[in-house]
Amino acid sequence: MIRVGLTGGIGAGKSTVATTFIDRGAYHVDADRIAREVVEPGTPGLDRLVDAFGSEILGPDGALDRPALAARAFVDDESRALLNSITHPLIGARTQELTDAAPADAIILHDVPLLVEGHMAPFYHLVAVVHTDADVRLRRLVDLRGMDAEDARARITAQATDEQRREVADIWLDNSGTPEELATQARTVWEERLIPLRDNVAAGVPAALPTQVRDYDPDWAVLGRRVVARVWALLGANASAVEHVGPTSVVGGRAAPVIDVEATVADLGVADSVADSLTAGGFPRAESSGPGRLHISADADRPVRVRLRAVGV
């Protein structure tokens, strides 16, 4: 099972990518839908919102009146925090429940508009970002979705920047062409990246690492940060340090494009106890000739070595 986070700014074209993946068998966990479900009439979530913001947030049919809620919850940081403290745990629990129910061989598609804003990137095997320039998105939202231009502009501005999305994007899908061109890119990603990654993770098999030396690539530093965040997310309190090390961490050096990450753990017993989590998280255990324990990425497109070393050894 692998989890793929799909995100992009409002109007970027996430639906085309989601549909392409779902048509090919992705197990869809739809964040927008979950956010609606947890506050449907009759849910504890809606009761709590009414307790917090008053019955004026309900429409005549007893369902949540979103604009009325927004008018009360988005007035200041405290109200916004109160809203989030009610909805986020419910959304999180439901997301976990649906993820746990996925078959062992699933490619889980978690469609999350605010993945970057919520700092969720490290919790996926891969993050796919759909990109369209903001002016094009604005035009599409107004012309095709009938949104008010001011509203669309305000929403675009309130979201993460392209740069922030690029930082977490393992897969960058450009939607400046036709929807069919976007779907073709998504099909290629599905076949050439997601299926092989899923199969390697299921079998606990690392991908082959490239050996050919190349000139320094500034993306190695970005990749290093991303992999470090992912390894931290998998190891949690089991590690006392996680760092990008080795030849690709040296600015200006020539190296084979492999991101080396070193994680410090208390002892090798701890390293062995986290082996299954790392394998399931996309870094299967590999034969180690050096000190400690070695894990290598299951994703051939993102070559990574993770070495777990006992503190002080």
Binding site for ligand ADP (CB under 6 A): 8, 10-16, 130, 140, 144-145, 175, 178-179, 182
- Is the CB of 18 or the CB of 274 nearer to ligand ADP? 18
Specify whether the CB–CB gap between 247 and 260 falls below 8 A.
Answer: yes
Provide the minimum distance between the beta carbon of 140 and ligand ADP in the complex, in angstroms, as a whole number: 4
Amino acid in position 244: H
- Characterize the bridge pairing of strands 126-131 and 2-8: parallel
Spatial distance between the Cα atoms of 194 and 258, rounded to a whole number of angstroms: 20
Provide the minimum distance between the beta carbon of 98 and ligand ADP in the complex, in angstroms, as a whole number: 19
Specify whether the CB–CB gap between 74 and 80 falls below 8 A.
Answer: yes
E strands, the chain, where? 2-8, 27-30, 107-111, 126-131, 171-174, 239-245, 259-265, 285-286, 293-296, 304-310
- Is the CB of 115 or the CB of 223 nearer to ligand ADP? 115
- Is the CB of 119 or the CB of 145 nearer to ligand ADP? 145
- Whose tokens are 């070595």? That residue is 305
- Is the CB of 10 or the CB of 271 nearer to ligand ADP? 10
Specify whether the CB–CB gap between 191 and 182 falls below 8 A.
Answer: no
Provide the minimum distance between the beta carbon of 136 and ligand ADP in the complex, in angstroms, as a whole number: 8
Provide the minimum distance between the beta carbon of 111 and ligand ADP in the complex, in angstroms, as a whole number: 8
Q: At residue 56, what are phi and psi to the nearest 5 degrees? A: -65, -15
Amino acid in position 253: G
93-101: which pairs have CB atoms within 8 A and are 24 or more residues apart? 94/34, 94/37, 94/38, 95/29, 95/31, 95/34, 98/29, 98/34, 99/3, 99/29
Provide the edge-to-edge strand list for the sheet that holds 107-111: 27-30, 107-111, 2-8, 126-131, 171-174
Closest CA to 168 of 225, 108, 88: 225
Provide the minimum distance between the beta carbon of 301 and ligand ADP in the complex, in angstroms, as a whole number: 24
Provide the minimum distance between the beta carbon of 121 and ligand ADP in the complex, in angstroms, as a whole number: 17
- Is the CB of 166 or the CB of 309 nearer to ligand ADP? 166
- Is the CB of 156 or the CB of 195 nearer to ligand ADP? 156
Provide the minimum distance between the beta carbon of 81 and ligand ADP in the complex, in angstroms, as a whole number: 26
Specify whether the CB–CB gap between 235 and 122 falls below 8 A.
Answer: no
Provide the minimum distance between the beta carbon of 23 and ligand ADP in the complex, in angstroms, as a whole number: 15
- Is the CB of 130 or the CB of 223 nearer to ligand ADP? 130
Specify whether the CB–CB gap between 205 and 284 falls below 8 A.
Answer: yes
- Is the CB of 12 or the CB of 274 nearer to ligand ADP? 12
